[in-house]
């Protein structure tokens, strides 16, 4: 059990929810589609805090996964609204994800205001989570 397993649990679920949306991830080669929606994924853990003491204790990690989805400019907001609702339904508060014995609990999932950026309509979805990781 580890922070790495925490990340894998989150990314595995995220890949499932993204479905066929191409996604740029940390330090991986990616070619942006010229005229179709695409996403950027950011895994952002905080520094751990002590949850229980001792060599066999637990550290609490909290963090965010931000999914920034870009839609072709001028195509309206329906596709973005639908995608955001899909994320909200799959990352409900209290949802437990598990990988390699490591549990990750979802705290919340929501979106920010859409905006135009570099000829794309950008909507960022933020998923808050926490995990207790053995030392």
Residue 32 lies in a domain: no
Residue 62 lies in a domain: yes
Q: What is the distance between the alpha carbons of residues 23 and 70, in angstroms, rounded to a whole number?
A: 10
Domain of residue 116: give its range.
3-25+37-134
CB 99 within 8 A of CB 85: no
Residue 102 lies in a domain: yes
Residue 93 lies in a domain: yes
- CB proximity list for 117: less than 8 A, separation 6 or greater: 70
CB 2 within 8 A of CB 97: no
pLDDT for residue 4 is more than 90: yes
Whole-structure pTM value: 0.93
CATH of the domain at 15: 3.30.2000.20
Residue 86 lies in a domain: yes
The number of folded domains in the chain is 1
37-75 pLDDT per residue, tens:
999 999 999 999 999 999 889 999 999 999 999 999 999
Dihedral sign of CA atoms 36, 91, 106, 92 in order: positive
């Amino acid at each position: 059990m580890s922070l790495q397993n925490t990340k894998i649990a989150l990314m595995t679920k995220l890949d499932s929810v993204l479905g066929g949306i191409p996604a740029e991830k940390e330090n991986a080669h990616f070619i942006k589609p010229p005229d179709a929606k695409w996403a950027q994924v950011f895994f952002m853990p905080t520094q751990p805090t002590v949850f229980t003491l001792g060599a066999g204790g637990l550290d609490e990690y909290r963090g965010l996964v931000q999914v920034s989805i870009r839609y072709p400019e001028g195509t309206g907001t329906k596709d973005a609204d639908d995608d955001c609702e899909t994320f909200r339904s799959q990352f409900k508060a209290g949802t437990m994800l598990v990988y390699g014995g490591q549990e990750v609990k979802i705290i919340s999932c929501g979106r920010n205001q859409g905006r135009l950026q570099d000829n794309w309509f950008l909507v960022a979805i933020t998923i808050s989570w926490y995990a207790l990781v053995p030392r």
